[in-house]
Structure 1
């Protein structure tokens, strides 16, 4: 009787082991916690939307016309792919990564030239930076091991996409990331136009909220190029927002602040 009981325990442990082996990101990973909450993902989205606009390769996103015509949808699409990878099996994640590469290859063929490898790295680096920055803003500081875990997930995404010159660890990545910010960002007419589109699609009040949110998570270089300044009124109310989550008022706040067209998508970002 007792041997049967222990056999069941062993079988369950083995079953769970192989189940987790099949996931691209482990079930208990900090990365799933980061990408499993809509408010954290929205700050990732906010920060990336600023840095996207400053990237020297942003003209590639203008080539298809999709970015200026629907900047929010384009960014939600990028975020959506990232989340699909985070919560997928290894096979499904690899298929999603391969699909991303295929889409970009098609754009390259249509334009007759290749997207620079550094531009692919920049997008990957944004996902790493804003994953960490958003979580630390809304939750707590990450440990060195947790930051390494975040980096490793997106490192594997980059390797699958065939990107070169990727640092192997988070510590090695930090100076490379800083150099990318220096080399690959500039304020251009694309930047001005993209922020104009953000304002058009969000409305004045939501646009102002976006800017204030960006201030809290973007690197110093981005802040300087955008003339953001050092003070954000959202930063002053973050503690109150955290309290609202405890009493389940955060959903109401998000429904007021966010465009109705994206409410369903935003709601789906929360993983129970």
Structure 2
């Protein structure tokens, strides 16, 4: 069987651990809120009404792609594109191509940033491998203007950050919804996690300060994994209603 992502790929290591996946979406949640096309997320009302449910829905598609055969992964990508096409038809206008690229770029950036925060530095070849996986996802979705390799992507990514982000009423409302669904303590943990992952432009637009009290706790958390205490810590920090979904994010890679 041909897999969309090779079985020994670093991409499977990244997307096979619940803590890494949760950090990916913590970072993306911050950048999503600033995107100039974020109004599309409000058209169906699903994100603001249930941001955590939307997270796990998105995770299921991403992981279906990463851990499936090429045929199954392509089917998942096609379904994802069809869902967006239906939303476009209902609204009577098209989602900008750059908005699709922005989402793809977030997955690339936060896959790398989260793994390096929680595990170790990635080599240039590993970063290229990560980029290639999401590049193929983008090509299957029919996206144009995608750089051919990781180094070219870095320049395009920087341009997207400068051109496609702004603080708006949607930014404030989304963070209000994050707080409502997470509660005060977990919301503060979300903000501190985001500060460790997001690019400088995102930090400036969200008015994040330069005090990183979560950073030393990351080292403690890494140590907790050695004595199998990390699951208990995650259960304390994350909403009980999503305990099962969170535990299911861990996949034995090999």
- Give RMSD over aligned pairs: 0.7
How far the C-alpha of 1:78 sits from its partner, in A, is 1.6
**For 2:111 and 2:117, how far apart are their aligned partners in 1?**
10
5+ residue gaps, structure 1, are: 1-18
Q: Bigger relative contact order, structure 1 or 2, given CA contacts below 8 A and separation 6+?
A: 2
Match of 1:26 in 2: 6
How far the C-alpha of 1:240 sits from its partner, in A, is 0.7
Match of 1:257 in 2: 237
Q: Which has the larger radius of gyration?
A: 1
Match status 1:122 vs 2:102: yes
**For 2:94 and 2:182, how far apart are their aligned partners in 1?**
32
Match of 2:122 in 1: 142
1:32-71 correspondence runs (5 A): 32-71=12-51
Match of 1:181 in 2: 161
Match status 1:160 vs 2:140: yes
Match of 1:171 among 138, 145, 151: 151
How far the C-alpha of 1:231 sits from its partner, in A, is 2.1
Match of 1:226 among 194, 206, 212: 206
Match of 1:248 in 2: 228
Q: Are the equivalent residues in 2 in contact too, given 1:61–1:67 (CA < 8 A)?
A: yes
Match of 2:80 in 1: 100
Q: How many residues align?
A: 252
5+ residue gaps, structure 2, are: none
Question: Scaled by the length of structure 2, what TM-score is found?
Answer: 0.98
Q: Are the equivalent residues in 2 in contact too, given 1:44–1:130 (CA < 8 A)?
A: yes
**For 1:97 and 1:252, how far apart are their aligned partners in 2?**
34
How far the C-alpha of 1:263 sits from its partner, in A, is 1.0
Runs of 4+ in 1 over 6 A off after TM superposition: none
